[in-house]
Structure 1
């Protein structure tokens, strides 16, 4: 077995909870010098309170960052993978950084330049969001940043899947997998195996999508070797890695679509039943 280099070892396992706590520590550790408070350094949140909050369009009626954190019920630390808590906290951090950057680092109010830790903090937040399949969406006029799924369909399917398959679904979208054909193939097999019973019982009106999804799984060098041997297909055999990866990505989206079709079909049945009962109740009156 070949020796793994240092970079492969560093990126082998990413612990979301551990990395979130690291981000929290760096966020709380940052200090800035100002002309007004030359004798002491302010934390990022104190800087936010003094220079950004009074004119921040999203302030509402709050007087301090402490009041914002209390309203949001942000945890002191993270011990479990609670995605909603992590995203809410990251959204708070990003908005504080956004407001401070917009309102403090200018000629009228010169401050010490952001430290290397500040730049690393932003980078670590970006990396964590990448692993969670989220991205920041800025609204400059409203002075607001919100976090949204990079792929809403992937997030929706992940939320109704087992933990192992949810990880596979979200991992497929990760930027580090671009060009990693074999890794993507393995993830597609895992996802397809999980939802095999669903693919075998297509939703009425969407049978063609289910059939095409199964067809690609069986003929695109995923479940079977379609580049050589008895299952060889000349078209697939001649595909470049880039073209094959493009078709893998298309198949990934089809798989998500089929799962969401089934989920929404069941939801439609529940809604129909409720509406039927509501109409019956109205007639009875």
Structure 2
């Protein structure tokens, strides 16, 4: 029997409940060192305390919250809960606070401690185990966590920034049941690839036909609610989700056809 390396043993012992507990501890304990350039003194505090003192009031995503404690309360963050949704919500909160530190408090005015670096690394490791990825929307000063989707990631990589954001945001848990927002995101994706969907690709016309049909019938592009008046919200959301997958598939057909054509040309050049 092959002996496992010490690194394989550590990986196999990974416990999500234990790891989120360590992250909770690090978030409250990890320090930032802030240098005052006027009096040459330095202060230190937890990342949350430093952000609340210096940046929270101007953060675009604070809503009407007056401080971090109020935001935690409104988000329902409870460190004794370990359900997937509970973990994702507090990781998303932590990452938004960390992102403010990383983008607004640069070196040499602010210095990360070792615990802060470990906190960032451990969050990334946990997200890998949960199969989630980080989506940063810089203009809105917002960080979201979305489930990893190979198809969504592949299409996002070849899309404009705005469309890529729409593709990745579609999977965010907060959009469950939000038909208006899903409709808006689907329209953004469609508009970038409208020409592709109209022209189609030989051998795959039925996929493009069905995708265009859903665009027209599901009140995505045209104001035709009469077509879907017999669907309840749950059924409509299911069809929105199906359309989303078809849109991704059609774009990937094009991308892979181009890859196949490129390989074909390369093989010809070798003869």
TM bucket, shorter chain: 0.5 to 0.7
Paired residues for 1:133-172 under 5 Å? 133-134=146-147, 150-172=148-170
CA contact (8 A) 2:207 2:250 kept: yes
Task: State how 1:216-227 maps to structure 2 within 5 Å.
Answer: 216-227=214-225
Checking the alignment, whether the CA contact within 8 Å between 2:146 and 2:173 is kept in structure 1 is: no
SS in 2 for 1:204: coil
Of 115, 129, 132 in structure 2, the residue corresponding to residue 29 of structure 1 is 115
What is the RMSD of the two structures over their aligned residues, measured on CA atoms? 3.9
* SS in structure 2 of the partner of residue 239 of structure 1: coil
- Under a length normalisation based on structure 2, what TM-score does the superposition of the two structures give? 0.53
Runs of 4+ in 1 over 3 A off after TM superposition: 4-7, 13-23, 25-30, 89-93, 126-130
* Cα shift at 1:276: 1.3
Against the structure 1 CA distance between its residues 225 and 92, is the aligned structure 2 distance closer, same or farther, given a 3 Å change threshold? closer
What is the rounded CA distance, in whole Å, between the counterparts of 2:174 and 2:248 in structure 1?
20
Counterpart selection for 1:263 from 233, 242, 255: 255
- Judged with a 3 Å threshold, the aligned counterparts in structure 2 of structure 1 residues 207 and 15 are, in CA distance, closer, same or farther, namely farther
Q: 1:94 aligns with which of 116, 121, 125?
A: 125
How far apart, in 2, do the equivalents of 1:267 and 1:94 lie? 32
Q: Per-residue CA shift, 1:229-268, capped at 9, x if unaligned?
A: xxx22xx101111110010000000000000000111111
Q: Which residue of 2 aligns with 1:117?
A: none
Q: Distance in 2 between matches of 1:170 and 1:176?
A: 13
Whole-Å Cα distance in 2 between the matches of residues 171 and 93 of structure 1? 19
CA contact (8 A) 1:131 1:170 kept: no
Indicate how the Cα distance of structure 1 residues 183 and 268 shifts in structure 2: closer, same or farther if over 3 A, else same. same
Greater Rg over alpha carbons, structure: 1
| Contact 1:168 1:190 (C-alpha < 8 Å) held by counterparts | yes
Which of 168, 178, 183 is the matching residue for 1:180? 178
How far apart are the structure 2 equivalents of 1:132 and 1:159? 17
Render the CA deviation track for 1:173-215: whole Å, top value 9, x for unaligned. Answer: 1111111000000010111001001111111111000010000
Question: Residues 132 and 170 of structure 1 are in contact (CA less than 8 Å); yes or no, is this contact kept in structure 2?
Answer: no
Q: Give 1:94 shift.
A: 2.5
In 1: Cα distance, 2:176 partner to 2:229 partner: 21
Counterpart-to-counterpart distance in 2, 1:177 and 1:259: 23
**Structure 1 portions without partners, runs of 5+:** 31-42, 46-88, 99-121, 135-149, 281-285
1:213–1:255 CA contact under 8 A, matched in 2: yes
Match 2:205 to one of 204, 207, 217: 207
Q: CA deviation at 1:21?
A: 6.5
State the TM-score, normalized to the length of structure 1.
Answer: 0.50
Partner residue of 2:144 out of 117, 131, 136: 131
